[in-house]
Amino acid sequence: MPKSISHYQITGTLGEGGMGIVYAAWDDRLNRPVALKTIRANVSDPVATERLRREARAAARVNHPNICQLYDVGSENGQFYIAMELLEGEPLSSRMSEGPLPLGEAVTITLATLSALDALHRNSLVHRDLKPSNIFLTPHGVKLLDFGLARPLDEHDVQLTTPGMLMGTPRYLAPEQLQGQPADHRGDLFSTGVVLYEMITGEPAFRGRTVPEVVHAVVYDHPPALGGSAAVAAVDRIVHKALAKQPQDRYKTATAMADELRSAISSADTGSVARPPRPITRLIVLPFKMLRADPEVDFLGFGLADALTTSLSGLDSLLVRSSLTGLQFATEAIDLDAVAKKADVDAILTGTLLRADDQLRVTAQLSEMPGGTVRWSQSMVVRVVDAFQLQDALTSRIVESLSLPLSAHDRQVLKQDVPANPKAYEYYLRANQLANHVRTWSVARDLYRQCLEEDPRYAPAWARIARLHRIIGMYSGADADEAYAQAEEAFTRALSLNPDLSIAHNLYTLQEIETGRIKQAMLRLLERVRQRTSDPELFAGLVQACRYAGLQRPAIAAHDHARRLDPQIRTAVAHAYLMTGEYEKAIACDQDEPQLIAILAMDLMGDRERAIAHARQQIAPGLPLMFRLFFEGTLAVLENRRDDLRTTGDQLLKMWSLRDPCGTYYFARALAVAEHPEALSMFKRAVEGGFNCAPFFWRDPWIDSLRGNREFDALIAQAESGYRDAAAAFVAAGGEQMLGPVE
């Protein structure tokens, strides 16, 4: 260690790297301590020297309380140095080595970091190497360090890099940096999200044992969603937006990210903030395999898996993939690694069933992923009539083996909704197997009725029969008013028996929407997600409620959160993208069969020929009459065949029974193109049904023929008022903290 460099007296060593040394020193001229950064004497690499020069230039351009202050630059005997503020404290990396940080502290550090980044970005600089070791914690606040890789936004790095060389720490770099693409200030925001995730969980956002594995994770994978409280869920949303793979999907500025973080924390009560954030364990229960076909007990293969899924999905500490997702993997040969990757889970429950006389042998095993390590395996023999006991026994073993941190609410959930007798349970499981197929809806409904005759206090059966009342009444041509009344009564019974029953809350959403209670549905779901932040179905419900209310941005945010929790979940986000003018995203997200939104998006983006071709593909043999007529009418609009459109419209008007105000609006806009006399009445029906998408109404060219009509203008004003009312209610209910701003 030298005694001095220029007029700086060396007093100690602060840190060493492969290229240089940072000394503690005393400035003889100004009588103050400094940190002196130098290149090692035996290093003659001009690139290292130039990086140090660039660090000095970058630091000199910005004066900010959260950026380490530059004092001096110089050289002596060919050795370049920079003198900077000597900081007391420790790097964030040291603080993080002690374990996760409290949420409030982590957010405070992040806000200071974002403030420093904002100053850099306003000076057209990007840091490009943000990581815990470059964030320093002092008694007086946070300081951002090390600008060796910082550069002006318009400057390239050819002179400072070697082909194939990776600059920065891969775990904290944005995908575009790792792929050698141009990176701007949004790369720094990605890195900030990575650091924040690691601060609050104690685990890296992107894992890997080798650099290639880490790079692959950053470019292609997403970290698990976080659970713990409403505040944690709000921060989780912000983190994942910062971690978007495409720069344009991240926050536009550091200030925008900071504003949402402040809002998320300020809205949360102290108790909720105190609950620790944690990556949520993700489980899928696959249908049990029947080792020998047996019509008497075959229903248990899907039914038992479905019952376990329903029971476990009520836990705050566990995220369970839906039964329908599990059904996708009901194959003869199960590839656990493939299932885990596609379903994005940490654990898989598999099992077999074999009946011998009145005995049932059940074997189940829980595998930890990736790798397929068996956490436990168990065989049980029960009487067939006692099959309902299996749910409780298996649920207990799953919870025990996963070491789930059960809350008081969780323990209560596990004790609820146990059927009163084996016969009720058998009817329920048999009905579940049939309830998802159109041809067996009525049979499933009757089985649920038999279940409830055996056990009128079994809440899950009330919730599921309510769904069937609604959809059978809607599509079968039966008395819709009576069907909706039966559904309402059944939902009310389910929620009175178990106010926390997730399946009832999830299924009730469409009932509310189709009976004109869209705002109520939105507010109910917002309250639920504050309590159940790890339920993807609740967020999928919010996609529906928010988009009908005209709140498309929150609908898109709810979709993003639902997909973080369950990548396979289907939502109605394509409609929201259509109404925000993001047409390519609308096309990509249209999962309906047949695909209406993709057709409408292609037309609105000016690609009518593509829309026509796609519409023709959707009119397939076997399409129900009402759907076929609707798509034929849409095709007539695109091909400007107004006479055909009027004829088709007349046919549809005679059979239109849908209470869905969104579908009614799509019908109204097609009629408006044909200047059909019923176009305005259908538009009125949609608006009075609560479809308040006023911003889209203003610019939708398909309804231009209605503009200028007094009644139409009044309906637009009504929709605008409903939209503003819903937006105000959303904000008052804390929706912005959970899902971000309305606009």
Q: What is the largest CA-CA distance in the chain?
A: 96
Q: Which of 279, 309, 340 is where one domain is finished?
A: 279
The phi, psi pair for 152, rounded to 5°, reads: -65, 150
Amino acid at the residue 198: E
CATH number of the domain within which 21 lies: 3.30.200.20
The torsion defined by the Cα of 429, 430, 432 and 434, in degrees rounded to 10, comes to 170
What confidence category does residue 238 fall into, taking pLDDT thresholds of 50, 70 and 90? very high
Predicted local distance difference test score (pLDDT) of residue 274: 43
Average pLDDT over residues 471-475: 80
673 and 724: one domain?
yes
Over residues 84-90, mean pLDDT: 91
Buried-exposed string 199-219: b where 16+ CB fall within 10 A, e elsewhere:
bbbbeebbebeeeeebbebbe
C-alpha 106/C-alpha 232 separation (Å) is 11
Q: Cβ-count burial of 99 within 10 angstroms (0-12 exposed, 13-18 middle, 19+ buried)? A: exposed
Structure token digits, residue 261? 């973080």
pLDDT in tens, 672-708: 999 999 999 999 999 999 999 999 999 999 999 999 9
Q: Please write the tens of the pLDDT for every residue from 494-510.
A: 999 998 888 899 889 99
pTM, full prediction = 0.82
pLDDT of 165 > 80? The answer is no
* 269, amino acid identity: D
Q: How many residues does the chain have?
A: 743
Reduced 3-state DSSP string for 172-229: HCCHHHHCCCCCCHHHHHHHHHHHHHHHHHCCCCCCCCCHHHHHHHHHHCCCCCEECC
In this model, does residue 68 exceed pLDDT 90? no
Q: Flag whether pLDDT at 477 surpasses 70.
A: no
Looking at residue 577, its pLDDT comes to 97
- The answer, yes or no, to whether residue 204 has pLDDT greater than 50, is yes
Our separate counts of H helices and E strands in the chain read 33, 19
**Given this model, what pLDDT does residue 332 score?**
66
**Confidence band for 278, pLDDT divided at 50, 70 and 90:** confident
- For residue 317, the 8-state DSSP code is T
The single-letter DSSP state of residue 523 is: H
**Beta pairing class for 226-227 and 278-279:** antiparallel
Instruction: Please say whether the beta carbons of 609 and 632 come within 8 A.
Output: no
Residue 350 — very low, low, confident or very high, per pLDDT cuts 50/70/90?
very high
pLDDT of residue 154 exceeding 80, the answer is no
Tell which residue, 342, 338, 337, 339, has the closest CA to residue 286: 339
Is residue 435 within 8 Å of residue 312, measured between CB atoms? no
Kindly state the DSSP code that residue 734 receives in the 8-state scheme: T
Burial per residue of 498-511, b for 16 or more beta-carbon CB atoms within 10 angstroms, e otherwise = bebbbbbbbbbbbb
Do 617 and 680 share a domain, yes or no? yes
Strands 347-356 and 281-285: parallel
- How many angstroms separate the CA atoms of 619 and 632, rounded? 7
Q: How confident is the model at residue 41 (pLDDT cuts 50, 70, 90)?
A: low
Owner of token pair 């059944």: 490
Look up residue 271 and give its two tokens.
Answer: 């108790």
Mean pLDDT of 178-195: 93
Domain-embedded: residue 285: no
Q: CA triplet 480, 486, 488: central angle to 5 degrees?
A: 100
- Of residues 504, 435, 438, the one with CA closest to residue 449: 435
- Residue 290 contacts by C-beta under 8 Å, 6 or more apart in sequence? 297, 298, 300, 301, 352, 353, 354
Looking at the fold, whether 142 and 266 belong to one and the same domain comes out as: yes
Predicted local confidence at residue 632, as pLDDT: 92
Residue 129 shares a structural domain with residue 208: yes
**20-27 and 70-76 strand pairing:** unpaired
| Cβ neighbours for 266, distance < 8 A, ≥ 6 positions apart | none
The pLDDT-based confidence of 730 (bands split at 50, 70, 90) is: very high
Q: What is the pLDDT of residues 6-22, one digit of tens each?
A: 999 999 998 876 567 88
Among 184, 193, 172, residue whose Cα is nearest residue 242 = 193
pLDDT at 594 over 90: no
Q: In what order do the strands lie in the sheet with 141-144?
A: 90-91, 135-138, 141-144
Are 458 and 420 within 8 A, CB to CB?
A: yes
Q: Are residues 134 and 192 in the same domain?
A: yes
Q: Are 742 and 553 in contact (CB under 8 A)?
A: yes
Give the per-residue pLDDT at 166: 52
Phi and psi at 487, nearest 5°, equal -65, -45
More confident residue, 499 or 405: 499
Side-chain-facing half-sphere of 422: CA atoms under 13 Å: 9
- 466 has pLDDT over 80: yes
Residues contacting residue 697 through CB under 8 Å, at least 6 positions apart: 703, 716, 719
- At 551, the amino acid letter reads L
Q: How far apart are CA 184 and CA 191, in angstroms?
A: 12
Average pLDDT over the chain, rounded to whole?
Answer: 87
H-only helix segments in 500-595: 502-514, 518-531, 536-548, 552-565, 573-580, 583-589
User: Exposed/middle/buried for 692, CB within 10 Å: 0-12, 13-18, 19+?
Assistant: buried
Q: Residue 164 sits in which domain range?
A: 90-279
CA distance 220 to 241: 15
pLDDT for residue 474: 77
Place of tokens 């076909």: 293
pLDDT tens digits, one per residue of 654-669? 888 788 899 999 999 9
pLDDT at 564 over 80: yes
Is the Cβ–Cβ distance between 371 and 344 less than 8 Å?
no
**Do 376 and 357 meet the contact criterion of CB atoms below 8 Å apart?**
no
- Residue 402, domain member (yes or no): no
Same domain, 723 and 638: yes
Q: How far is CA 689 from CA 200, 518, 663, 693, in A?
A: 44, 9, 11, 12
Mean pLDDT is lowest, of 46-60, 135-149, 444-458, 510-524, for: 46-60
- Looking at the structure of the chain, the number of domains it has is 3
Last residue of a domain, one of 237, 264, 279: 279
* Average pLDDT of the residues in 146-175: 61
Q: Is the pLDDT of residue 607 over 80?
A: yes
Residue 61 is predicted with a pLDDT of 77
Is pLDDT at 270 greater than 50 in this prediction?
Answer: no
Of 550, 532, 534, 506, nearest in space to 662 by CA: 550
DSSP 438: G
Mean per-residue pLDDT, 630-651: 93
What pLDDT digit, counting tens, does each position of 366-397 carry? 998 887 888 889 888 888 877 777 888 888 88
Using the predicted structure, report yes or no on whether residue 273 has a pLDDT greater than 70.
no
Domain limit, last residue, from 250, 279, 308 = 279
Q: Is residue 348, in this structure, part of any structural domain at all?
A: no
Residues 624/655, Cβ–Cβ less than 8 Å: no
Q: Which amino acid is at 43?
A: V
Say if residue 157's pLDDT is above 50. Answer: no
Q: Which of 169, 166, 192 is nearest to 179 (CA)?
A: 166
Residue 24 lies in a domain: yes
Q: Do 145 and 18 fall within a single domain?
A: no
Same domain for 217 and 71, yes or no, is: no
Could you give the CA distance from residue 195 to residue 367 in angstroms, rounded to a whole number?
30
Question: Which runs of consecutive H residues, i.e. helices, occur in 640-688?
Answer: 642-655, 661-673, 679-688
| Whether residue 267 has pLDDT greater than 60 | no
Above 60 in pLDDT, residue 34?
Answer: yes
CATH code, domain with 674: 1.25.40
**What is the token pair recorded at 346?**
């940490």
Rounded CA gap, 214 and 439, in Å? 48
The verdict on 40 and 119 lying in the same domain is: no
Greater confidence, 476 or 37? 37
Task: Please give the Cα distance from 535 to 519 (Å, whole number).
Answer: 20
CATH number, residue 263? 1.10.510.10
Check pLDDT > 70 for residue 55.
Answer: no
Torsion 106-264-506-275 (CA) sign: positive
Residues 6+ apart with CB under 8 A from 470: 483, 484, 487, 510, 511, 514
DSSP bridge pairs for 354: 361
Residue at 410 is within a domain: no
List pLDDT tens digits, range 285-314: 999 998 888 888 888 888 888 888 888 887
d(CA 459, CA 311): 12
Q: Name the DSSP letter for residue 328.
A: T
Residue 246 lies in a domain: yes
- ∠ CA 269-270-271, rounded to 5°: 95
Q: Are 165 and 212 contained in the same domain?
A: yes
Establish if 629 belongs to a structural domain.
yes
Inform me whether the pLDDT recorded for 459 exceeds 70.
yes
> How far apart are the C-alpha atoms of 237 and 452, rounded to whole Å?
40
Residue 415 has pLDDT above 80, yes or no: no
| Phi and psi angles of residue 572, each rounded to the nearest 5 degrees, phi first | -95, 30
Are residue 121 and residue 240 in the same domain, yes or no? yes
Residue 543 located in a structural domain: no
* Distance from C-alpha of 576 to C-alpha of 550, rounded to nearest angstrom: 9
- Ranking 66-80, 346-360, 567-581, 648-662 by mean pLDDT, the lowest is 66-80
Q: Verify that 648 and 696 share a domain, yes or no.
A: yes
Q: Write down the pLDDT at residue 271.
A: 40
- Residue pair 447/426 in contact (Cβ under 8 Å)? The answer is no
